[in-house]
Structure 1
């Protein structure tokens, strides 16, 4: 389920947005403060952020700038919400990295359509990217080549596909069942030890980058970049 982070200091509006997004099938998290919202974005790595421009403390422009600067969230799409509709305000929003800009008051239906469109666009851009760079790890999708700190590491076709799948969903936990389906093409499998065996081999081959793959006990795995 895709997660939307709402950063909005008007509690009634934030709760209304959460209600409508959840009705559309999204999971939501709400922050009523800019600094708190930024921390939540970096920690939870949502699929999209709805961000109010005018907030006390840390304004939306600063929040957006920092979201786009962080290695964990630089690819996270941001839709800016604001009562300001002047062209210069939109320009500023896009300059700090916003992916879309919605002026209050807006129709709920229009916002839902924009959210879905931005997520689709972001997913297409991620999937079309030929090189994935994640800390010491670099994955050249077209060449099927992986390097760790500049040193090439050899993987089998299945190992490469498994690593690529985790990398494209960085920070998001993948169940063993979903990995079996997406990497191996299995749909009805009771024994998921195949995934565990391949994860162990991946970690061993990746050396110092192997601990980027985290085990989520009782569920599956995720690839996560360390934060200082």
Structure 2
């Protein structure tokens, strides 16, 4: 179970939805008082923390968790708009295991959460690899092979392929893909998705047909491909 402390309702709900879609148990809290009460009932397997919270600073929560014997070993990732190098150094030196700045893509978030859970010994919660029609994708290693040959993909190409492969046969609109793969604050147009699909198909070569275009709607990964 992951606990996520974030006072922005939209960000928290969207992130929790993305985690649930990937089979990761997660619960959200809008403030430290709610979070503290939940920890007293059940210690989570990992924690996601915003820094600027209404009642207690996220860094103070981090220090408290690290000082408590019951939560000292729980993996913690900071999710915050504070992107200065000094902020990152303070958080990491204070005991954070990871630091992700807003805006972030939901696929990157779920990938990093899987890493946190592995660090905490909870790898059984999610599948470590996907294998469909000769394509093997490993989220933990950020590695893709096609018929045994490794592909060199960019960050977004990898996230896009993973997102489509996790739900073969399901059609996703360009807007849905932008929101899930690029993040809710991405200000580029839907043409970005088309460009990435095109380059991804080029790299997939003989397997390019697996990413199907649904005219007027968006894209899907072939459900039953040879």
Deviation readout 1:20-61 (Å, 9 max, x if unpaired): 111111222111002321332343111111110111220100
Number of paired residues? 122
33-42 vs 61-70, which deviates more?
33-42
Q: TM-score, normalised by structure 1?
A: 0.51
Match of 1:199 in 2: none
Q: Specify the alignment match of 1:115 in structure 2.
A: 113
Tell me the distance in 2 between the aligned counterparts of 1:78 and 1:42: 17
- Residue deviations 1:132-188 (CA, integer Å, cap 9, x gap): xxxxxxxxxxxxxxxxxxxxxxxxxxxxxxxxxxxxxxxxxxxxxxxxxxxxxxxxx
Aligned-pair CA distance for 1:123: 2.1
C-alpha distance in structure 2 between counterparts of 1:48 and 1:31, whole Å:
14
The 5-angstrom pairing of residues 182-221 of structure 1 reads none
Q: Equivalent of 2:31, from 33, 48, 51?
A: 33
Secondary structure in 2 matching 1:81: strand
Structure 2 equivalent of residue 24 of structure 1? 22
Matched ranges for 1:47-126 at <5 A: 47-123=45-121
Q: Secondary structure of the residue that 2:120 maps to in structure 1?
A: helix
Offset, 1:70: 1.4
- Provide the C-alpha distance between the structure 1 equivalents of 2:61 and 2:36, rounded to a whole number of angstroms: 6
Q: Which runs of 5+ in 1 are unaligned?
A: 125-228
The alpha-carbon distance between structure 1 residues 122 and 27, as it changes in their structure 2 partners (threshold 3 A), is closer
| Unaligned stretches of 5+ residues in structure 2 | 123-226
1:15 maps to which of 5, 13, 16: 13
- Larger RCO: Structure 1 or Structure 2 (Cα < 8 Å, ≥ 6 residues apart)? 2
CA distance in 1, matches of 2:28, 2:120: 21
Q: Any idea what the Cα deviations from partners look like across 1:96-133, whole Å, max 9, x if unmatched? A: 21110000000001111111112212329xxxxxxxxx
After superposition, residues 148-163 of structure 1 pair within 5 angstroms as none
Alpha carbons 1:14, 1:30 under 8 Å: kept: yes
Separation in structure 2 between the aligned mates of residue 58 and residue 120 of structure 1, nearest angstrom: 28
| Structure-2-length-normalised TM-score | 0.51
> CA separation of 1:39/1:95 partners in 2, compared to 1, >3 Å: closer, same or farther?
farther
In structure 2, what is the equivalent of residue 44 of structure 1?
42
Kindly indicate whether the alpha-carbon contact (under 8 Å) linking 2:78 and 2:99 is maintained by their aligned counterparts in 1: yes
Which runs of structure 2 are paired with 1:163-178 in the superposition (5 Å)? none
